[in-house]
């Protein structure tokens, strides 16, 4: 069953020169979790942050750290990110051939596990891991960069995955990431999403604007 809408600000759009201050601000502004995009310059065409940064910022918020690993191979790094402070570890279905085994590894470390699929990957890729996942992330842009436009065709996929989740009877979060703003947020929620990842739409204006930015998405 679709749950209440929650907001996961992506620190990819934060001011990295004052990252701790930014995380404190979005925590106070009403964020539900902190979304951390990890990119390796191989699986996606960009490089962002690693475990050292996650360790250093963990002290700035008690919110769950939702770590989205856009890296391949992913298995050798799962334990390191768990130790660094990730509460939820999301990996890509496209990043390796043994998806179920990778998810089992995350769970064995006491963390929630998530699966993400890019726009070209069908919902059917999730069929045989629905019994283990805690979160499904539908990318509504091609991953690698912030500030891209929402791909409307993914709304159909969100609806399909919503139905897949409801049929399991499990409380699996359905997260959407990419091009989320006050308008596309409505479309994503109407299609069945209950967690919205947003970067530019939240980290705009001044710090005192973050609360209203989050409310506008809810």
Percent of the chain predicted with pLDDT > 90:
96
Catalytic residue among 32, 37, 134, 194: 37
Confirm whether 15 is a catalytic residue.
Answer: no
- Residue 144 above 90 pLDDT? no
CA distances from 146 to 140, 156, 198 (A): 12, 22, 9
Task: Examine the pLDDT at 145 and tell me if it is beyond 90.
Answer: no
152 classed as catalytic: no
Give the number of other Cβ atoms within 10 Å of residue 162's Cβ: 21
* Dihedral sign computed on CA atoms, order 86, 89, 92, 95: positive
Mind listing the domains of the chain with CATH numbers? 6-217 (3.20.20.70)
> SS3 string of 102-135?
HHHHHHHCCCEEEEEECCCCCHHHHHHHCCCCCE
Pairing status of strand 65-70 against strand 88-92 = parallel
Instruction: From the candidates 40, 134, 173, 177, give the one annotated as an active-site residue.
Output: 177
pLDDT tens digits for range 21-52: 999 999 999 999 999 999 999 999 999 999 99
State both tokens at 127: 């069929």
pTM of the entire predicted model = 0.96
Report pLDDT digits (tens) over 62-92.
999 999 999 999 999 999 999 999 999 999 9
């Amino acid at each position: 069953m679709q749950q209440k809408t929650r907001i996961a600000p992506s620190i990819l759009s934060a001011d990295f020169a004052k990252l701790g201050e930014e995380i404190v601000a979005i925590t106070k502004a009403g964020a539900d979790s902190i979304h951390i995009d990890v990119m390796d310059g191989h699986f996606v065409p960009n490089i962002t942050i690693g475990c050292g940064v996650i360790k250093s910022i963990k002290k700035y918020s008690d919110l769950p750290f939702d770590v989205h690993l856009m890296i391949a191979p992913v298995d050798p790094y799962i334990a390191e990110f768990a130790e660094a402070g990730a509460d939820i570890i999301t990996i890509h279905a496209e990043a390796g051939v043994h998806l179920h085994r990778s998810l089992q590894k995350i769970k064995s470390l006491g963390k929630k596990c998530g699966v993400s699929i890019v726009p070209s990957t069908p919902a059917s890729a999730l069929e045989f891991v629905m019994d283990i996942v805690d979160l499904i992330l539908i990318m509504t842009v091609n991953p690698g960069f912030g500030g891209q436009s929402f791909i409307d065709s993914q709304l159909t996929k969100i609806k399909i995955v919503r139905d897949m989740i409801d049929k399991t009877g499990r409380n699996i979060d359905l997260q959407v990431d990419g091009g989320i703003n006050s308008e596309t947020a409505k479309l994503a929620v109407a299609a069945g999403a209950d967690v919205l990842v947003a970067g530019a739409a939240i980290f705009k204006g001044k710090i005192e604007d973050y609360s209203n930015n989050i409310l506008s998405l809810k």
